Amino acid sequence: MSECQINIDLSDVIAILAALVAGLSALYARWAWREAKRANEILLSGHKKEIYDAFFELKMHMQQKAEFAELSEVSKFYYPSRNAQLYLSKSLAEKISKYYEACFWVADIHHSRSGYDGESMERCKPHIDTEQKLAPEIDKAISELIRSANA
């Protein structure tokens, strides 16, 4: 029988230990990256939720008041509509911006006229149509984003 002799020097032991430490470090780095990514998703989800809450308030106001929307209520959605560009896709942010503009013009037309007449009602019609068309699309898109982030 032949005997196999393994002769390990101190430098070999140190190299093996260094390789083990490097492997463990890589595993820890991967775990830390995954946790950081998850924390970032949670943070972004919070911003998306804030935009959704503000959108929902405006949507409810428009459903209740329609062409009699109040400028002070509509104006509350200004900053969330701008923040959508930072936290949502470009196409969704554009829809939100168009939605805000439509609601703003409805409120502004009646605010500047200090009353409601046939002409102002006619000028509001295209903006009301835009609001009614975009509201369900935006609601569905943001809801799905928030749900998918929480899954």
Average pLDDT, whole number, for the chain? 89
Measure Cα distances from 107 to 4, 55, 117, 143, 146 in Å: 90, 16, 14, 26, 29
Q: What is the mean pLDDT of residues 87-105?
A: 95
pLDDT confidence of 137, banded at 50, 70, 90? very high
Question: Residue 146: what pLDDT?
Answer: 84
C-beta neighbour count of 18 within 10 angstroms: 10
Question: Residue 86: what pLDDT?
Answer: 93
Query: What percent of the chain lies above the pLDDT cut of 90?
Result: 64
pLDDT confidence of 102, banded at 50, 70, 90? very high
pTM metric for this prediction? 0.75
How far, in Å, CA of 80 to CA of 5, rounded? 72
What does the pLDDT look like over 60-79, one tens digit per residue?
A: 999 998 888 899 999 999 99
The larger pLDDT score, comparing residue 44 to residue 3, is at 44
Nearest Cα neighbor of 79 from 51, 113, 105 is: 51
What does the pLDDT look like over 34-44, one tens digit per residue?
A: 999 988 888 88
